[in-house]
Amino acid sequence: MSCSVDNPTLQALYPLSSTLNIIRTLNPSLSPLPNVTSFGSAGSLYAQLFYEGEEQFYCKSDSCDQDSNNWSCQDLECICRPNTTFCGGVPATNLTGAINTLTGTLNIDCGDVDNSTQQATCSFKQATIDSLFGSSGLVLNGCSFGECLRQSVLDSNGTTSTASSTSSQASLSGGVIAGLAVVGGLLLTAAVFLLLGYFSQRRARKSGYNQFGSGNVTVEWSNISYIVQNVQNSTRTLWRKRKSSSEYNDDKVILDSISGRVLPGQMMAILGPSGAGKTTLVEILAGKHKSGSVLGQVSFPSVSQSSPRIGFVPQQDVLPSTLTVHEALLFAARLRLPENIPDPEKHARVDAILQKLGIEGLKNVRIGDNTNGRARGISGGEMRRVSIGLELIASPDILILDEPTSGLDSVSAARVANVLHAIAHDSSSPTAVIASIHQPSSQLYQTFDTILVLSHGRSLYLGPGSFAPVDRLTRTGLTQPYQQGYNVADYLLEVASDPPLALLQSPKHAIPASGSDQVELSNNMSMEKVEDENSTSIDFRVNNRSKVAIRGSAMLGFGKSKYATTFLTQLEYLSGREWKILRRDKTLFFTHVAVAAVLGVFCGGLYFNIDTTIAGFQSRVGCLFFLGALIAFSSLSALYNIVEIRPLFLRERSAFYYSPTAWLLSRFFFDVVPLRIVPTIIVSTITYWMAGLAPDAAHFFKFLFILVLYTLALTLFNFLLGTLFRNGGIAILLSALTALYQMTYAGFFVHLNSIPPVLRWLQWLCPLKYCLEALSVNEVGSGLMIQDSLQGVPVDVSASLIMNLLFGFGQNNYYRDVLVLFAFIAGFGLSVIGVVWFKVRERLEGLPYKFQTLLTSSCVVPELHKTKHRYTGQKPDV
């Protein structure tokens, strides 16, 4: 085969005629003159380049296969002829070093022969040549073909038995196979989990369940103390012991030996000024996680099961603002009631709760959010009753509330109190109700059956309500006399705000609690233990390692799981709620779509129809970089959404509505897909075709694939920041700084190889670097050629050469970058799951349904005999 070499760049350097002759030996025994008309053994190839009739260099290979008009040769070797035009004859254009390094695999691809000229166009492809002249290699024009045989072979008119070449089957590349394997594995895993979830759901719905919610549970607590360690002391104890055992420390005793009891059908009000310890006490009784050290005992002497259900209503109403009142309660019923209760029964229970709370008229009214000027919904008092209803759905045995009337007017507060009174005194299911009250009105105060008055962490009074506290305190002679007609609650708060030291230090007398039951009320005496085989108690005490130990049985749930429903049911109802929110708040989705379309048109217009010059290629990479940077900054909205929804997730998780994994999956389906991936596809598609990037479907979809992977990686990274930091400002700052870091190390502003070694390693931690490199490699892989002129010399070279020179990107790094982006997605995804499971929570894991013992893992419990009370200066009586 003889071809003419007409490459413009070569012709600019060597303007005379260049010809390439290629000889392939099929059978040496049929050659007229071996080593003259043919070279080497069967299957070998010999190529010679002539410039103006003089051989410049030759290449040879001993192993070549042929498939139609295409040849593939291994172990290529090229050698320059010394002192020729190409190889040293003209020092300024000496190609000896480049030609002698042409090794590896040689491919010669030829098109069909033109019948009129009996010639064809071929491509001479090798890795180094492809990097210089593009993926098409060195184009050979006017190729003519011939066959050289002995005359005897022709005269015999026989058929020539040639060495048949093995036809290479079209096969997928390793990267494509790996990608298909990963996608197939993920789909198979998802299908297996979906199938297992389906069978688990069916089994749960067919199984029976025990009746619950009968109430009739007494709660007692004895010698409850809560100590917060001083930060300086905590640091000091890590490296040295105290010098003297009699030395007191500065740790704060928030609660000191608080005891009490509430019977079924009783309402207890915990009164006290700000800072008295009301919220701390109710949170301890409700099983909330505390950062300090909790000591004492909580018991449920009338419980025949392992542990009661305790409903806790926090001070702040954290509700889904987009749902209606009925939808919010039904969502709680579907996830907190057992799986096998039919849905119509859950609807009926929701209607009954609405009627009990007196809000059946608000059934189809959206809850709304009255803060920050948002859409107004129901009132504050109505929100409080909805919050109570969310706990009543699960039929709690004990109901605990933290300041349920705070921020409400007197009418709304009275309505809430009447609801609580009806719950406590329900004849069919009497319930113990405990509520901390900040400053109740006289009418609200009279609603409660028993009163606990706290002052500076100590108990001033525990017993019947009404005027009994006044009589008890005035008999001591230590307080101001009570004036008739004065609000009893206000009088008790005045005494508790500045109590005489003698009142705190002197022992209390026994006060009747209910009927014949007597409770010893003394800072120096603990409540009498109930020795009952049905009693459930949890003991908080200091063990040898100065951490809180657990005593007693504390496991309760439906079946073996702490969740009332299966994972698939949780995902189903979470997805349904997210879909309702997305459907009702259309502005969020359409804003993302509209902004993406506008940015796509802007970016496409900025880089409209980029040419193929060197400057144009730099603009192409700039367009790709702009898209990556745009995604990096737009993903900040994902962080804001996580910070915004975090309080609702914490409340629902603390009540064991669903597992964190189900919540994360629902967020993925209804946040990541519509609000992250869809806008990315829109802005990328508009920009791609307006900018005139690689005009074929294969490279377009590979382009979209990379941007979707990068979007997923950045979204999960912002999810991680949003879950890792409670302060949204810190998370947003870190996300913005990370985006700037990625822009620096992406390879567009600074060549990666020119970065000092001490900082160069940071490029391997930059997702945008892999994204931009994969996008650039995909673009030049379409056969993009740079056609330009430098000082009058025409340049016609492959864009991959310019890409490597300007940005340091590797030509064969596309699939490597895809795998690295997958690794970032997996790493960030697993980190988000881990942080949500182990950090974003209100309660400790592995303990009872609606009740958990408090553990302290980060601070050391102080030695009690060295701890001063914050008000009296005495040691705590525990």
Residue 587 CB coordination number (10 Å): 9
The per-residue pLDDT for range 504-516, each reduced to its tens digit, is 655 443 333 333 3
The per-residue pLDDT for range 809-829, each reduced to its tens digit, is 888 888 889 989 999 999 999
Residue 253, CB-side half-sphere exposure with 13 Å CA sphere: 31
Per-residue pLDDT at 875:
52
Give this prediction's pTM: 0.72
> What mean pLDDT is predicted for residues 272-301?
84
Residues 6+ apart with CB under 8 A from 624: 772, 775, 776, 779
Strands 267-271 and 432-436: parallel
Share of the chain above pLDDT 70, in %: 80
The per-residue pLDDT for range 761-805, each reduced to its tens digit, is 999 999 999 999 999 999 998 888 888 877 667 777 878 888 888
Residue 830 CB coordination number (10 Å): 12
Angle between helix axes 488-497 and 468-476 (nearest 10 degrees) is: 40
Sign of the dihedral through C-alpha 702, 704, 706, 709: negative
Radius of gyration (Cα) for the chain, nearest Å? 40
The per-residue pLDDT for range 230-242, each reduced to its tens digit, is 655 544 544 444 4
| CA quadruple 321, 322, 326, 329: dihedral, nearest 10 | -50
- CA distances (Å), origin 264, targets 88, 194, 286, 526: 104, 44, 16, 22
Q: What is the DSSP string of 75-133?
A: EEEEEEPTTBTTTBTSGGG--HHHHTT--EEEEEEE-PPBTTTTBEEEEEE-HHHHHHH
d(C-alpha 264, C-alpha 286), whole Å: 16
Total length of the chain:
878
User: Looking at 255-269, 292-306, 648-662, which range is the least confident one?
Assistant: 292-306
What integer best gives the mean pLDDT of the chain? 79
- pLDDT at 181 > cutoff 90: no
SS (H, E, C) 405-468: CCCCCHHHHHHHHHHHHHHHCCCCCCCEEEEECCCCCHHHHCCCCEEEEEECCEEEEEEECCCH
d(C-alpha 78, C-alpha 396), whole Å: 85
According to CATH, the topology of domain 216-228+250-309+398-504 is: Rossmann fold (3.40.50)
Choose the most confident range, by mean pLDDT, from 487-501, 537-551, 730-744, 786-800. Answer: 730-744
User: Looking at 69-73, 405-409, 527-531, which range is the least confident one?
Assistant: 527-531
- 275's tokens: 């800072």
Q: What is the DSSP string of 830-862?
A: HHHHHHHHHTS-SS-TTS-TT------SSSPPP
Choose the most confident range, by mean pLDDT, from 309-313, 456-460, 708-712, 756-760. Answer: 708-712
* Per-state percent for the chain, helix, strand, coil, to nearest 5: 45, 20, 35
Per-residue pLDDT at 305:
54
Residue 202, CB-side half-sphere exposure with 13 Å CA sphere: 5
The per-residue pLDDT for range 460-493, each reduced to its tens digit, is 888 888 888 888 877 777 777 777 778 888 888 8
Return the domain boundaries, the chain. 2-149, 216-228+250-309+398-504, 317-395, 583-845
CA 309 to chain centre: 31
d(C-alpha 146, C-alpha 74), whole Å: 23
> What mean pLDDT is predicted for residues 36-56?
81
Exposed (0-12), middle (13-18) or buried (19+): which is 812, by Cβ within 10 Å? Answer: exposed
Confidence of residue 85 (pLDDT cuts 50, 70, 90): confident
- pLDDT at 200 > cutoff 70: yes
The per-residue pLDDT for range 373-392, each reduced to its tens digit, is 555 688 888 898 899 999 98
- On whether the CB atoms of residues 227 and 253 are closer than 8 A, the answer is yes
Per-residue pLDDT at 556:
32
Residues 6+ apart with CB under 8 A from 498: none
